[in-house]
Amino acid sequence: MIGHGPMPHFSDECVTIEPPRASLDDVWPQASMLVNTSRSEGASLVILEAMAAGIPVIASNAGGNPELVGRGGIIVSGVNDGAELFAAAIKDLLESPAHRQELARLARERYLEKFRIETMIAALRSVYSGR
């Protein structure tokens, strides 16, 4: 796990927790999935980075997460039973390599179609030019 914040349910016996990093470039090749449990989010850069790397995403329905993820992952909703829903989604992807690979493919396709820098610049130009 990489990040910070309250994590009362994890012990050093089952999870290695590392501090935040400036870049995750060396992590993506080893990652099976990205799990983003944020309760408050705008447009998550780490989700876009994962999708660019072809990593399937499991994310909360906070902020812009659903719009970013689209069909390239699993959106978890539910305030009271969120932990159980996240656990079920993680289990599903760990136990189903075919599903994980399909979501990875869809995540990369969505990134290339919607969020590449050239696409974003063209969209901004369109907005500001009134077209």
* pLDDT recorded at residue 9: 60
Residue 123 has pLDDT above 90, yes or no: no
* pLDDT recorded at residue 84: 86
Instruction: Report the C-alpha gap between 70 and 121 in whole angstroms.
Output: 20
Q: What is the 3-state secondary structure (H, E, C) of 18-39?
A: ECCCCCCCCCHHHCCCEEECCC
Sheet holding 34-36, edge to edge: 34-36, 57-60, 73-76
**What is the mean predicted confidence (pLDDT) over 44-58?**
92
pLDDT in tens, 10-22: 555 556 666 777 7
Q: What is the DSSP string of 37-100?
A: --SS-SS-HHHHHHHHTT--EEEES-TTHHHHHTTSEEEE--STTHHHHHHHHHHHHHH-HHHH
Comparing 125 with 8, the larger pLDDT belongs to 125
What tokens were used for 28? 């993506």
Asked whether the beta carbons of 74 and 90 are under 8 A apart, the reply is no
Comparing 8 with 39, the larger pLDDT belongs to 39
